[in-house]
Amino acid sequence: MTPVELSRTVLRAVRRAVDGGELSVSVPVSVGVGPPGPGGCGDYATNVALRLAGPAGLPALDVAEILRPHIGDEPGVVEVTVTGPGFLNITLGGGAAAALVDQVLTRGERYGYGDSLAGQVVELRVPYDTRAEVVADTLVRIVATQGGRAEVRHGEPVNLRPVPAPEDPAPLGADAARWALLYPASHDRPRISADHLLQRESNPLFRVRYAHARCRALRRNAGALGFGVRMSGDVRAGGEVRGDGDGDPSGRLDDTARQGADLLSVLAEYPHTLRLAAAHRAPDRLARHLVGVADSLLLFQHLVLPLGDEKPSAAHRARLALAEAAGTVLAGGLSLLGISAPEYL
């Protein structure tokens, strides 16, 4: 449910209260909803009760209590709480986004595994070459994610011959060497350079591993603030992640909506990427997808934890759950590539 849809939901509740004789006011043309303020809770809050208190000739708290059950009866609304002088705080149920995040967190690093190659034996005949060996080793794991079994053999006829590296990648170290050989498409010549060791944004490997470390840092920082992700119903990636920012003059909600949607999209594409990587014997597809996950997460990370005097809410748990899901995918993907996923970087 977007903020615009929630605004209409609140208006319907007001109209029902007026039609039922519980309130004697003119139904407003629109009402605002936005993130809960200090002392608030849930995913969204509205001050409609305070606006209607004067015209209704009732205290705002009484108006809020009249509207509370009407809003709570709407589909998609889990809970409505009255706080402060009469703010209505609304907690939403999750939808497809929540189901995706829940699936990732439940399956862990096995998220994306399928049966597209179930029962199949994939024979990989490779030349005696460092890059071919690394690609084949990685494909053994990727093919297994789809229920298949890859067997690596040497000799003719060769059916897996990626362009060899121009020099020995070993001096880069295990992780950077594997990335240098796996990130380019098989028909592209790998670039063996110390650039793979640089800790800067221009290095895709650094971005992927740094994004994973940031996910773990968000978990630690959330724990220090006294909240975390609780499974089985508390994972709601809806709300502010899916909203469009209506009624939020700061624009933060709009950023959360856009960047959260981008991150959800790349997480949803991960199983398809694994299927294609296995079917086309192309670990580079997985490596490039992990870069996309990392880039989306690094934009989203700044919106996960409460800012200033904000208190942790269901919305913050939803964002943390989405970040945790991204970290899970990054860790699983790096493991398939044979590259470590550090907790700190």
Contact of 297 with 210, CB cutoff 8 Å: no
pLDDT per residue as tens digits for the range 239-277: 444 433 333 444 555 566 678 878 887 898 899 899 999
10 Å CB burial of residue 230 (0-12, 13-18, 19+) is: exposed
Q: Name the helix (H) or strand (E) containing 325.
A: helix 314-337
pLDDT at 254: 55
Q: How many CB atoms lie within 10 A of CB 152?
A: 17
Q: Has this prediction a pTM greater than 0.75? A: no
Q: What is the mean pLDDT of the chain?
A: 88
pLDDT at 229: 77
- Rounded CA-CA distance 51/315 in Å is 25
Torsion over CA of 279, 284, 290 and 293, rounded to 10 degrees? Answer: -80
- Distances in whole angstroms, Cα of residue 79 to Cα of each of 35, 70, 109, 206, 228: 15, 11, 32, 42, 20
Q: Which residue has the higher pLDDT, 142 or 316?
A: 142
Would you say how long the chain is, in residues? 345
Confidence grade of residue 310 (pLDDT, cut at 50, 70, 90): confident
Return left, alpha or beta for 169; rule: phi > 0 is left, psi -120 to 50 is alpha, else beta: alpha
Segment 174-213, tens digit of pLDDT: 999 999 999 999 999 999 999 999 999 999 999 999 999 9
Give the tokens for residue 139: 């494909």
